Amino acid sequence: MIQLLDKSFEILITKKEIKARIKQLASQLNDDYSTKKPLFIGVLNGSFIFAAALFKKCNFEAEITFIKVKSYENTSSTGKVSEIFGINENIEGRDIILVEDIVDTGLTINQIIKTLTKQNPKSLKIATLLFKPKALKVPTNPDYVGFEIEPKFVIGYGLDYDGLGRNLGDIWVLVD
Ligand code: IMP
Ligand code: MG
């Protein structure tokens, strides 16, 4: 158990399991993108560790950039995605791999998809480390999923509780 601010967390997924799973996801990407030159778009802040780990294991030509959105406060979704900023690249006609730390309600990723689709990318796929299918509020079907988890609050490996916990190597779940 660990304590972060007022909350306790226990281990859900170990760093070893994460590492092994990212290797598998990268090997899928290596098959799917061997003849393409995609642009990875990581969603800040949460995805920066996953995006880096995944990107490093990809052996095709690829670029990476990041966008920033905010939708979460404390331990529950606000349901509102405030501004998306940071897409300077021209994504028209490009293969895009959107990288998220977690798809929870799906609101964030769908808002981003809506914005990016307006710019006519050639393809747009979603890679997410974690997926809470039972928490979805809008239908979402991520293409590359690290782990499906129960709709509980988690931290670690980039995911935070009020800014803390991102540097934990394992993924921890709230104990209530
Ligand atoms: P959604 O819009 O509800 O799908 O939430 C997406 C964003 O909320 C993610 O990119 C995370 O930043 C954050 N989030 C969702 N669930 C969790 C969680 O369990 N722990 C920490 N952050 C989360
Ligand atoms: Mg996020």
129-154 pLDDT tens trace: 999 999 999 999 999 999 999 999 99
pLDDT at 146: 98
Question: Closest by alpha carbon to 62, among 83, 42, 89, 34?
Answer: 34
What's the rounded Cα separation, in Å, for the pair 101 and 77?
Answer: 14
Tell me, using a 6 A CB cutoff, whether residue 50 lines ligand 1. Answer: no
What's the rounded Cα separation, in Å, for the pair 51 and 22?
Answer: 10
User: Around 117, how many Cα atoms within 13 Å sit in the side-chain half-sphere?
Assistant: 8
Are 130 and 103 in contact by the 8 Å Cβ rule? The answer is yes
Q: Phi and psi dihedrals of 115, rounded to 5? A: -65, -45
pLDDT at 50: 98
pLDDT at 80: 64
Tell me, using a 6 A CB cutoff, whether residue 101 lines ligand 1. Answer: yes
Atom 3 of ligand 1, residue of closest alpha carbon? 105
What does the radius of gyration of the chain's CA atoms come to, in whole angstroms? 16
Regions of the chain short of the pLDDT cut 70: 70-83
pLDDT at 79: 59
What's the rounded Cα separation, in Å, for the pair 76 and 63?
Answer: 32
What's the rounded Cα separation, in Å, for the pair 6 and 16?
Answer: 27
Tell me, using a 6 A CB cutoff, whether residue 153 lines ligand 1. Answer: yes
Ligand 1 atom, smallest distance to 104 CA = 4
How many Å lie between the centroid of ligand 2 and the Cα of residue 102?
6
SS3 145: strand
- Give the chain's largest Cα–Cα span: 49
pLDDT at 78: 59
- Active-site annotation, residues: 104
What's the rounded Cα separation, in Å, for the pair 46 and 163?
Answer: 10
